[in-house]
A and B are shown apart, each in its own frame.
Chain A
Amino acid sequence: MNTLLTIARREFRAYFDSPLAYVVICLSLFVLGLLVFMYQGGYWQIDRATLQPLFEWVPAGLAILVVPVVTMRLMAEERRSGTIEMLITLPVKDSDVIMGKYLGALGLVLTVVLASLAYPIMMFKFPWNLGPLDMGPVLSGYVGLLLYSAAAVAVGLLVSSLSESQAVSFFITFMVLGAFWFSGNVADQMQGTFANVLHYVSFQSRMTGFMRGLIDTRDVVFFLSITVLALVVSFRALERRKWA
């Protein structure tokens, strides 16, 4: 457990030792602000004290850019530079390496998510007070975001474990998460079993409940399953080096 946390801490710190963490946090907040308030009228158009636009945009943003950027180097860079050999020949379990890296990356993504809390606080508490905020959907929305980030980072870690190039890792994670997100939109245009399947796996469809204040155990289990599955496969991918 201790080694796990040591690895997670190093991983998390490594983001802040490079410009990456700062760029990611600042740019995501900036772009998020633009989208929430300006895109097609955004927040003002809805004319209600709700944070729904926020939860529509944060996950999409995470899926499209933040998660791939944060997770692309996790394993790919270690393998390319050979540091994986140094790390693994320390007395650490393979599972500690995977979990440590996972928590480190998830830490940064959650930092971005939590930083977005600045919006509701500033809009509805201080310095502005735009109206009484319905807290329920905000809380459930953040629970959804948490679960969603956990799943997305696990998928990113998995892709990174399977590739040796950061660029490839970025691109594939980007595509996979994008596909998971927009499969809901695609399904809307279709009918039949396939559309149902697409709806079923769509991260967007799964997030709608959370946005509206509904914490559905099916959605919770869905995100947790994706997380666990991706972590287990990443672990296997790391173990595979021994036998390949």
Chain B
Amino acid sequence: MTADVMIQASDLSKRFGSVRALDKVSFEVKKGEVVGFLGPNGAGKSTTMRILTCFLAPTSGTAKVRGVDVFDDPLEVRRNLGYLPQRAPLYTDMVVRDYLKFVADVRGLDAAAFRKALESIIEVCGLAQALDKDISALSHGFRQRVGLGQALLHNPQILVLDEPTADLDPNEKAEVIRYIKEIGKDRTVLLSTHNLSEVEDACARAIIVSKGKVVADGPLEEIRAKTGSVRYVVTVDEKLGLAGKSAPKVAELRQALDAIKGALRSRELPTDEKVHKVELTGAKDSDLRAEIFQLMVAQGWLMLELRRDAQSLDAVFRDLTRGDEALDRGHALEEDAAGDEDDEQSDEDDEQSDEDEDDEESSDDSDADDEASDETAEKKDA
């Protein structure tokens, strides 16, 4: 292990009863990196962070922070870290200043060091006007800032932030991201979120986890290029056809679109208008717009809109975490909440993501895999 590896996780696994929250998660974060830790709710982001901060112990595997194993010396690990848990749980009965003083005392800062640290975090986190207020009276955005502030008090080289922007309004979000960028200039930051635009704003590298496994890890550009598909959104009138021909049913439309050469799958998008809106996924680097248009003309269907989506990180995320998305919708946030159903299906999905991992390099193969995995996803949906 080189000296500049700040966080190292190898083969971390964590079980909660029969639920596998983490399954052999391995990654490294180097000095000075700001890394986005992405994944749907319940994918194991918080669990990983809790292991890194020695709140939980892994079922197997090792985690090291600045070369110190979380089992060997949890106190030393925590001294080196600044951690902001999800939803910034603070003592609401305290005044901000007292709270920060309490954290400083626990961390062993003397009065002079605390004064100095306080000055700097007031500036970095914009806490000046909140300092003498009760925490219970603060908005969520301000609480988040206080949480960030307490993580920075001892000027740690490593910061672990669990969903620092969840539940914030867009302005607050932008602000917190700005603070994180500011903080990340000379520190190592591991930042979890499911909001992808933030990652694009703040991080150069992302690790995507899904169902307790790392499904992608690398610079954003690489991840973006990784999935081999292009999306089209086709909107067709559901009442009128061209020149007296009848309008299609959704199933009919999807069948026809799926039949186009190079199309991978389609799904219906919700809409308020009296139209069918279908999302069609095509193979990488393909352009199906002409074929779609010709299909519409040939069938006499009235196409109102055709759009090709540039490949966004959002889409990549959705692609990589497909199984999760379908299973976890409507489930509670906690990992424990994942039911037994997940377990039954997880074997199937595990194979899938294994393949994804193996094929990180060879993009040609991954197309074929994508197709295969999409089929399984389709079946599940049906």
Contacts and interface: CB of A to CB of B under 8 A. Distances in A.
A, B assembled together = yes
A86 B57 contact: no
Contacts of A10: 91, 94, 102
Interface string A66-108: 0000000000000001111110111111000000000000000
A90 B102 CA distance: 11
Interface in B110-159: 147, 150
B56 interface: yes
A242 B14 CA distance: 10
Interface in A88-130: 88-93
A47 B27 CA distance: 78
B93 A14 contact: yes
A7 interface: yes
Interface residues of A, number: 24
A14 B93 CA distance: 7
B310 interface: no
Chain A interface, >50% SS class? helix
Given A6-B106, A7-B106, A91-B106, A14 B91 contact: yes
B81 interface: yes
B93 A85 contact: no
Say which size band chain B's interface belongs to: 20 to 34
A79 to B, nearest CB: 10
A83 B88 CA distance: 8
Contacts of B75: 91-93
B54 interface: yes
Interface in A44-74: none
A83 B55 contact: no
A86 B56 contact: no
Nearest to B160: A89
Given A17-B93, A91-B78, A93-B75, A85 B50 contact: yes
A30 to B, nearest CB: 25
Contact of B106 (A81, A83, A92, A243): A92
B170 interface: no
B85 interface: yes
Contacts of A18: 93
B70 to A, nearest CB: 10
Nearest to B75: A91
A84 B57 CA distance: 16
B89 interface: yes
B106 A3 contact: yes
A86 B105 CA distance: 14
Nearest to B87: A82
A6 B56 contact: no
B16 interface: yes
Given A18-B93, A241-B55, A242-B57, A89 B106 contact: no
A86 B54 contact: no
B78 A89 contact: yes
A90 B92 CA distance: 18
Nearest to B46: A85
A79 B346 CA distance: 30
A3 B103 CA distance: 10
B85 A82 contact: yes
A17 B107 contact: no
B307 interface: no
B106 A90 contact: yes
B53 interface: yes
Interface string A176-200: 0000000000000000000000000
Contacts of A92: 75, 78, 106
A40 interface: no
A87 to B, nearest CB: 8
Contacts of A91: 75-76, 78-79, 106-108
11 contacts: A3-B105, A6-B102, A6-B105, A18-B93, A82-B85, A85-B85, A86-B90, A90-B103, A92-B106, A243-B57, A244-B16
Interface of B: 16, 50, 53-57, 75-76, 78-79, 81, 83, 85-87, 89-94, 102-103, 105-108, 147, 150
Closest 4 CB pairs of A and B: A82-B89, A242-B57, A91-B78, A89-B53
Given A10-B102, A93-B75, A241-B55, 19 more contacts: A3-B105, A6-B102, A10-B94, A14-B94, A82-B86, A82-B89, A84-B89, A85-B85, A86-B89, A86-B147, A89-B54, A89-B78, A89-B81, A90-B103, A91-B108, A92-B75, A92-B78, A92-B106, A242-B56
